[in-house]
Amino acid sequence: MYVSYFFRKRRKNAYSIEHIFEGLSAQIKKEGRIGVRKIEVSSIRDIFTNIFQARAAQSEVNHITGDIYYVMLGLNKKNTVLTIHDCVFKTQYSKWNPKYWIINWLWYQLPVRRSNMITTISEKTKNEVIELTGVSGEKIKIVPNFYDPRFSFVSKKFNADCPRILQIGTKKNKNLHRIIKALNGINCELDIVGPLTEDIKQLLKENNIKYLNSSNITFEELKKKY
């Protein structure tokens, strides 16, 4: 028996989904009873090509790992699991923007209706999916992200005078602007991983936040920050 994991095309600053499911598939391989296939789709500009590619790469169990929910349109309903991480697009586009409706239907409405089972990483995301699509809550299972064994506890003295706060990611759904405002007046150092826009830099300055910034770092470099 095989499980096919369907991944988005790899990007420099986006690898959280990949790390989660690479760890999961490695654990499945250790069990020795189930084979694992990994399918990475092409660019987002090739939506229909990706759908047909997914259709040709099906296994006994298919699992869409996130972000490319639309490939569900090419997969068999009865043996496919769809994992939804968030519904952030709702805050990115107004309902007057055609992109809102394209994403709404291709990424959420149609895939959710076709999938046999849906998993979300939190109760919040589950409720957002229900509100957005009207799907029954019984079809959605909450499965939190698993513990990555590559991380381990390291004893370190806490700097109470000026603690360092680690922020991974700078996209809108990471709420970095709210974090910056919340830290106004608190003596700390914000360690931000991800590219900064000029607006964010200005916000950091206005709120007198001491910060470090890095981008395009390796997993080992990221692990050291923890």
pLDDT single digits (tens) 49-75: 899 999 999 999 999 988 899 999 999
- Structure-token match 């009207």, residue found: 134
119-123, 153-157, 199-203: the lowest-pLDDT one: 153-157
Q: Tell which CATH architecture fits domain 2-142.
A: 3-Layer(aba) Sandwich (3.40)
The pTM (predicted TM-score) of the whole model is 0.78
Would you list the domain boundaries of the chain?
2-142, 164-225
Which long-range contacts does 183-186 make (Cβ < 8 Å, 24+ apart)?
183/207, 183/209, 184/208, 184/209
Model confidence pLDDT, tens digit, residues 69-93: 999 999 998 999 999 988 887 777 8
